[in-house]
């Protein structure tokens, strides 16, 4: 199932204030009780806005990281601006061509 939405987080906050259990919240939101438990672990006491900020931050940090340093990336971009081909740049900096495509 997809990520919990901000509106669901607001409902979870309300359900917490009403004293509902994780199972009851899960049934009302059509989510697993373990999903509710994980969501509640984001902050204590649970606050929808803070949980949303935490989720957005964690989502922004996921994904594949580049193996190239910022300095090397700038050099590559400069060579591209000078109309160098990716193959010429890879040869110049002794890089595999697949690394070049992953930095953009």
Identify which has the larger pLDDT, 92 or 36.
36
pLDDT digits (tens, 9 = 90+) for 9-19: 999 999 999 99
Name which of 7, 2, 17, 15 is nearest 49 in CA terms.
Answer: 7
- Above 90 in pLDDT, residue 65? no
6 with 53: CB under 8 angstroms?
no
* Entry pTM: 0.63
pLDDT band at 97 (very low <50, low <70, confident <90, very high): low
């Amino acid at each position: 199932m997809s990520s919990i939405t901000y509106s669901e987080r607001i409902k979870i906050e309300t359900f917490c204030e009403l004293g509902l259990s994780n199972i009851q919240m899960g049934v009302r939101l059509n989510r697993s009780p373990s999903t509710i438990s994980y969501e509640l672990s984001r902050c204590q006491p649970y606050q929808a806005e803070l949980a949303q900020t935490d989720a957005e931050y964690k989502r922004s940090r996921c994904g594949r990281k580049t193996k190239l340093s910022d300095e090397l990336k700038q050099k590559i971009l400069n060579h591209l601006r000078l109309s160098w081909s990716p193959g010429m740049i890879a040869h110049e900096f002794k890089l595999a061509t697949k690394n070049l495509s992953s930095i953009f």
